[in-house]
Amino acid sequence: MLPAPSSSKPLESWQSIAKRTQQHRDATIAAVRSPIPDIPDLPLDSTPIPKTILTPREVSITESDPVDLLSQLSSGSLSSEDVTHAFLRRAALAQKLTNCLTELLPQAALSRARYLDAYLAEHGKPLGPLHGLPISTKEMIHMASHTCNAAFIAWHARTPASNAHILDILLAAGAVLYARTTQPQTLMHLETSSNYFGATLNPFNRALTAGGSSGGEGALVGLRGSCLGIGTDIGGSIRSPAANCGVYGLRPTSGRLPMAGMSATMLSAEHIPAVVGPLSTSLGGVKVFARTLVDARPWTREPGLVPLPWKTESQFAALEGGAKKVRVGVLADDGVVRPHPPVRRALASMAEKLESVQGVDVVPFAPLDHDAAWTIISSLYFADGGAEEKAAIAASGEPWRPLSKFILEENKNVKALSVAEVWAWTAKRDAYRTAYAKHWEDSGIDVLLCPVGPGAAPALDTARYWGYTAQWNLLDYPALVAPVSKVLESDAADASYVPRNEDDRYNHGLYSPEKYANAPVSVQLVGRRYEDEKVIEAMEYIQEKLGLPWAEYV
């Protein structure tokens, strides 16, 4: 067990703790050779900068598909030391551009990389399926002997004695851990802003958020300072940053990937399960991550997991000639908050193009009371009335970040419930899940194509609508995010639109193509519970047939 936060008055101010934490981060970054220079006069779009700072070889390595890197690492045509060094440098640069890191681990990572290179030389085979690949991780994932503060200042001295289960498996598979990334106060923002580090910015437009809560991962992977990273998701925390930063992200079904060993509040609340999952620069990276973890049979150690082996056979029937039979539902609007024009355009284009793919059926899919789904999930998120979150903030005297206030104090569904009230909400949740299962079954769809959010990455402190992601947390459906396009100048705001409700009005008011300039536009593909493999396979197929993505991100 980790020590509980002290209830007595802190001996050190929160500002002093934050400053020390930043200094530690900066020192670990300064230890990367050759040092990354400070960049004066940062432009809104950071993405062209790495090519001007890094060597061509570093650029080539860090912009490779992780699947290709693994192939070269396991054959020895690339050394893990070179790959790790390249990612360390690009991650150090990403920090200067987007403020996405809590620390780098240059010495430990390079030492590990050299060990793996020696292992390959000696044994003539890789250590495992992730041999030599650098993997980044959200700070809240336990790393032995490193602090795990989960963005609460009061937790600054929490230092787990052992690794999270997921890190043990990734290390046994040959991964190199080299970077830890930022997260927001409470871990319950769709942005990333804490009193340790301030806000993490969007690589494509510094006025916009990287998303959250795994926003450090989003920005780092978006800038190719990582090709594969670990996030967590209870309402959109993998998918929001993946979408905002133009990368792939998977919220798997609960019970598939190992969860043991995290710093967070309310870890034992079962009503709405949090999950861990990947963010990656490629769909192949998402897949190798999930498959490696499942192939390790994590359920033998962690009994909350389900012993479902990773399915390698196709989840779709095939027509003669090899075309898959795929029925794609399209939910363009959840009926509560209408997505901004670029999201509607991307979905409409995909739907139109999918209609001409042999074997693919495209059908509209009506939302089933998504507003009620938000009422249920937001009533269950903080069943103690937010007491544990509030205490963790109060323990250090740190101020509340704006989106902490939004989700905990301005959220009318946060109430301290009795056990009987939790059961009553759980009954509503289960009735909704049952109704949605019937709705889905009746539609006959295999997968559902829908927005990831009500727009592309919004300006800082304005990400207030969770419905497009939290919907699938409530249902516990696997949901995959993939980049499709970017916001275009031609994505004009609809001045004549009459909003349906206050949330819709707020969201509508955020948008203009100028404010969202250059922001990635992503989509979400959803499947039924435990159909993670099917969702990935469908996205691979759609991507191939449609030539996605339709924009450049590096």
Cα end-to-end span (Å), the chain: 43
Rounded distance, CA 461 to CA 211, Å?
10
Indicate the residue among 295 and 384 with the shorter CB distance to a second copy: 384
Task: Tell whether 124 is in a known binding site.
Answer: no
Active site annotation includes 80 = no
Q: Which residues contact 488 (CB under 8 A, 6 or more apart)?
A: 342, 345, 513
Q: What is the nearest approach in angstroms of a second copy to the Cβ of residue 372?
A: 16
Which of 80, 194, 237, 379 is catalytic? The answer is 237
User: Are 434 and 506 within 8 A, CB to CB?
Assistant: no
Indicate the residue among 13 and 434 with the shorter CB distance to a second copy: 434
Which of 80, 193, 213, 379 is catalytic? The answer is 213
Q: What is the nearest approach in angstroms of a second copy to the Cβ of residue 298?
A: 11
In degrees, rounded to 5, the angle at the alpha carbon of residue 337 between the alpha carbons of residues 410 and 281 is 95
Q: Which residues contact 368 (CB under 8 A, 6 or more apart)?
A: 435, 436, 439
Task: Tell whether 314 is in a known binding site.
Answer: no
Indicate the residue among 305 and 484 with the shorter CB distance to a second copy: 305
Q: What is the nearest approach in angstroms of a second copy to the Cβ of residue 388?
A: 7
Q: What is the nearest approach in angstroms of a second copy to the Cβ of residue 268?
A: 4
User: Are 183 and 20 within 8 A, CB to CB?
Assistant: no
Largest interatomic CA distance in the chain: 72
Nearest to 214 by CA among 425, 413, 26, 469: 469
Indicate the residue among 432 and 511 with the shorter CB distance to a second copy: 432
* Interface contacts to a second copy, rule CB under 8 A: 255, 260, 266-271, 299-304, 306-308, 383-384, 387-388, 416-420, 422-424, 426-427, 430, 433-434, 436-438, 441, 475-476, 529-530
Indicate the residue among 306 and 348 with the shorter CB distance to a second copy: 306
Rounded distance, CA 502 to CA 489, Å?
27
Structure tokens at 491: 């994505």
Q: What is the nearest approach in angstroms of a second copy to the Cβ of residue 198?
A: 31
Indicate the residue among 339 and 527 with the shorter CB distance to a second copy: 527
Task: Tell whether 235 is in a known binding site.
Answer: yes
User: Are 253 and 227 within 8 A, CB to CB?
Assistant: no
Task: Tell whether 187 is in a known binding site.
Answer: yes
Task: Tell whether 257 is in a known binding site.
Answer: no
**Cα dihedral value 375, 378, 381, 383, nearest 10:** -60
Which of 64, 74, 80, 138 is catalytic? The answer is 138
Active site annotation includes 280 = no
Query: Cα separations (Å) of 8 from 17, 117, 154, 391?
Result: 16, 49, 11, 12
Active site annotation includes 237 = yes
Rounded distance, CA 147 to CA 141, Å?
10
Q: What is the nearest approach in angstroms of a second copy to the Cβ of residue 377?
A: 15
Structure tokens at 507: 């969201």
Q: Which residues pair with 275 in a beta bridge?
A: 233
Task: Tell whether 236 is in a known binding site.
Answer: yes
Helix (H) or strand (E) holding 135: strand 134-138
Annotated binding residues for substrate, written as ranges, equal 187, 213, 234-237
Which residues are part of a known binding site?
187, 213, 234-237
Instruction: Please identify every residue annotated as catalytic.
Output: 138, 213, 237
